């Protein structure tokens, strides 16, 4: 008992520490400064390396390594890392614009590459500076990356990773306004030479099997909140997996992210020994807009960097804290999955994932999950994994999983995480009916009785030590949003002081969920219905019910002192 009390105290302390120093991204989504201004550029200093060319890849060796990785359940690789040492002082060319501003450019060529991306061992930009990465033909560009992307400070510089640019000829450009006197620190450690990744819709990376079902098909209709929790991960710039945001008992929306341990073991990352994932980035909302595949790359919503909080090979889980919070992405509202740690097998649900790094897919579980050890068919109540098989859906689709799906959440029929994908035998070929195995969430909760806070989930996801076994998902409303469709919400909804939620459809809260309105937040029932809800109005929040709107609470309704309630031809039950 004393040991358990010590663990609880340490859990609480570590979890408190985890919530500090979460930084925002992101890029400014603007064109590079040099576009259209080449005539103003005068060479200020030319280094000996204005253009650098990477070696040709030994594809026979790479294919052999990738086959070995596949045999050992390692995450798929799409890019080869060229180790380099390029920085603002030893490479590239400095230019001066006619107004006194400065530009630095480095042209990197990876022969026959399908994509190029960069991992920076040192990345720090002063306020006002901007870094861009773009293709030589100027058809693609990412950035600007600014001081908001700094993970450390100028004395304690950390790393960074920028996203993929398609093609083999890429330019890095740093812009420094004349009034900025502090020098940036930009040092490239790896150039990632993409040999599998090509644009969505073409053969190669991003091209999953033809049995896969897009998340926006009818099969995903009831999972539109949950899909926004799932992201494609590029691990250390060159491997890809899937994973999902997950909620905590304090409902505060910390950017905690669940995936598989084997997704980070290949790059030797570990919560206790080497937790930094500076070279890792996350693609949000990476999906086709409808049911049919399209041949246009989805809009990129990306964040960069993470820290491994806990991981364990027993149930193959890894929990990250994201360095850049997806709440700060423009036009993207993240969702945090609820969970069930009871260990009781559930009715069949779904998996949402990125097979082969493709756009988001949904696969439907055929039968109740069975408790077994990994890759075993023998049922055992105390085993570490759920064995599942995939079912044919209402439109005769039959989604499975593939390489790149690893780490994706297994969701119960009640929309709660019960595990994350470890591996298995299913694919779109002859193995379409073969099983897959997911590490059990309830075993991950205690790390299979591991006493270290770095090997278990409970210290991070339940820092309040509530002891609850299930929790609904979490939807945070930071800005005005309107719900017009009929929805069943397996969610807690938290409306921030800057947020406003307008209900114009038929919204039914499921499970033990709440609508929490923070001071300054607004809940408006405009002709719609919000039913089966536990409503928490905090002092300084407001509720309006207009145009015949209806709000039906579970336990009656009482507005606290300081909450503003205005009812115009509406109803509260």
What six digits make up the tokens of 176?
A: 């420094």
Q: Which helix (H) or strand (E) holds 362?
A: strand 361-364
Supply the pLDDT for residue 6: 44
What six digits make up the tokens of 303?
A: 């964040």
What is the distance in angstroms between the CA of the first residue and the CA of the last residue of the chain? 46
Supply the pLDDT for residue 206: 54
List the alpha helices (DSSP H) in 183-328: 262-265
Residue appearing with tokens 């150039």: 191
Both 165 and 288 in a single domain?
no
Whichever domain contains 108, its CATH number is 2.60.120
Residue 563's Cβ-side half-sphere holds a number of Cα atoms within 13 Å equal to 21
Domain limits at 68? 38-194
Both 514 and 455 in a single domain?
no
* Cα–Cα distance, 496 to 157 (Å, whole number): 33
Both 180 and 217 in a single domain?
no
The answer for 283, left when phi > 0, alpha when psi is -120 to 50, beta otherwise, is: beta
Supply the pLDDT for residue 89: 93
Give the closest residue to 178 by CA, choosing from 299, 69, 301, 44.
44
* Cα–Cα distance, 104 to 95 (Å, whole number): 6
Provide the domain count of the chain: 3
Residue 9 lies in a domain: no
Both 310 and 398 in a single domain?
yes
What six digits make up the tokens of 293?
A: 């595949």
Number of residues assigned to the chain: 573
Residue 250's Cβ-side half-sphere holds a number of Cα atoms within 13 Å equal to 17
pTM: 0.89
Supply the pLDDT for residue 176: 96
Residue 8 lies in a domain: no
Both 421 and 519 in a single domain?
no
8-state DSSP, 22: -
Both 184 and 211 in a single domain?
no
Backbone φ and ψ for 310, nearest 5 degrees, come out as -155, 145
For the chain, the 3-state helix, strand and coil shares in percent, each to the nearest 5, are 10, 40, 50
Give the closest residue to 222 by CA, choosing from 352, 358, 342.
352
Both 440 and 483 in a single domain?
no
User: Average pLDDT of each block of 10 consecutive residues along the chain (573 residues)?
Assistant: 41 42 59 82 70 96 91 86 96 92 96 95 97 95 92 91 93 96 96 77 59 94 96 92 97 96 95 96 93 78 95 98 92 94 95 94 96 96 96 84 96 97 92 95 96 97 95 95 92 96 95 93 96 92 94 81 82 79
* Cα–Cα distance, 76 to 62 (Å, whole number): 12
Supply the pLDDT for residue 19: 37
Residue 26 lies in a domain: no
Boundary-marking domain end, from 142, 160, 194: 194
Both 457 and 500 in a single domain?
no
Both 520 and 389 in a single domain?
no
* Cα–Cα distance, 242 to 318 (Å, whole number): 12
Say if CB 500 and CB 477 are below 8 A apart: yes
Both 187 and 213 in a single domain?
no
Both 479 and 457 in a single domain?
no
Boundary-marking domain end, from 150, 174, 194: 194
* Cα–Cα distance, 348 to 6 (Å, whole number): 38
The burial of 291, by beta-carbon neighbours within 10 Å (0-12 exposed, 13-18 middle, 19 or more buried), is given as middle
The three state secondary structure string of 387-418 is: EECECCCCCCCCCCCCCCCCCCEEECCCCEEE
8-state DSSP, 339: E
Residue 201 lies in a domain: no
What six digits make up the tokens of 264?
A: 């980070």
Residue 19 lies in a domain: no
Both 491 and 444 in a single domain?
no
Residue 106 lies in a domain: yes
Cβ neighbors of 382 (< 8 A, separation 6 or more) are 371
DSSP string, 473-496: EEEEE-S-EEE-S-EEE-EEEEE-
Residue 7 lies in a domain: no
Give the closest residue to 84 by CA, choosing from 190, 172, 158, 238.
190
Residue 319 lies in a domain: yes
Q: Is 34 helix (H, G, I), strand (E, B) or coil?
A: coil
Boundary-marking domain end, from 165, 194, 223: 194
Say if CB 189 and CB 121 are below 8 A apart: yes
């Amino acid at each position: 008992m004393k040991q358990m009390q010590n663990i609880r105290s340490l859990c609480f302390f570590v979890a408190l520490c985890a919530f500090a120093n979460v930084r925002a991204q992101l890029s400014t989504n603007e064109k590079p400064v040099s576009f259209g201004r080449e005539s103003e550029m005068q060479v200020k200093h030319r280094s000996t390396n204005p253009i650098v060319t990477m070696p040709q890849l030994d594809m026979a060796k790479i294919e052999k390594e990738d086959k070995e990785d596949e045999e050992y359940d390692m995450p798929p690789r799409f890019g080869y890392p060229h180790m380099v040492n390029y920085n603002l002082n030893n490479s590239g060319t400095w230019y001066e614009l006619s107004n006194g501003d400065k530009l630095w450019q480095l042209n990197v060529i990876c022969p026959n590459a399908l994509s190029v991306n960069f991992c920076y061992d040192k990345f720090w930009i002063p306020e006002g500076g901007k870094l861009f990465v773009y293709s030589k033909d100027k058809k693609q560009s990412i950035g600007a990356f600014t001081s908001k992307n700094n993970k450390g400070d100028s004395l304690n510089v950390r790393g960074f990773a920028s996203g993929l640019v398609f093609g083999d000829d890429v330019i890095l450009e740093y812009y420094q306004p004349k009034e900025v006197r502090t020098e940036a620190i930009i040092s490239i450690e790896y150039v990632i030479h993409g040999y599998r990744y090509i644009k969505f819709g073409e053969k190669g990376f991003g091209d999953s099997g033809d049995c896969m079902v897009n998340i926006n098909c009818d099969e995903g209709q009831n999972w539109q909140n949950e899909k926004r929790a799932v992201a494609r991960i590029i691990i250390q710039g060159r491997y890809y997996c899937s994973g999902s945001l997950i909620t905590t008992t304090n409902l505060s929306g910390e950017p905690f992210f669940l995936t598989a341990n084997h997704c980070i073991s290949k790059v030797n990352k570990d919560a206790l020994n080497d937790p930094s994932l500076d070279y890792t980035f996350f693609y949000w909302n990476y999906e086709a807009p409808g049911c049919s595949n399209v041949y246009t790359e989805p809009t990129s919503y990306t964040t960069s960097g993470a820290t491994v909080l806990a991981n364990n090979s027993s149930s193959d889980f890894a929990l990250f804290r994201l360095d850049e919070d997806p709440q700060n992405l423009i036009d993207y509202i993240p969702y945090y999955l609820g969970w069930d740690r009871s260990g009781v097998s559930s009715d069949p649900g779904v998996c949402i994932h990125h097979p082969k790094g493709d756009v988001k897919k949904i696969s439907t579980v055929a039968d109740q999950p069975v408790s077994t050890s990994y890759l075993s068919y023998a049922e055992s109540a105390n085993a570490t994994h759920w064995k599942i098989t995939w079912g044919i859906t209402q439109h005769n689709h039959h989604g499975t999983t593939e390489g790149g799906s690893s780490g994706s959440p297994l969701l119960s029929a009640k929309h709660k995480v019960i595990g994350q994908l470890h591996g298995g035998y299913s694919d779109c070929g002859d193995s379409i009916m073969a099983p897959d195995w997911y590490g059990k969430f309830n075993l991950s909760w205690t790390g299979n009785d591991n006493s270290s806070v770095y090997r278990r989930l409970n210290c991070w996801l339940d820092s309040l030590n509530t002891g609850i076994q299930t929790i609904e998902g979490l939807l945070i409303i930071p800005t005005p949003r309107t719900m017009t469709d009929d929805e069943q919400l397996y969610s807690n909804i938290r409306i921030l002081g800057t947020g406003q939620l307008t209900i114009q459809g038929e919204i039914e809260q499921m499970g033990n969920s709440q609508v929490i309105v923070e001071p300054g937040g607004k809940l408006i029932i405009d002709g719609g219905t919000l039913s089966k809800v536990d409503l928490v109005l905090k002092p300084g929040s407001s509720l309006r019910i207009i145009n015949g709107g209806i709000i039906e609470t579970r336990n009656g309704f009482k507005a606290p002192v300081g909450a503003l309630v205005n009812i115009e031809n509406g109803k509260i039950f």
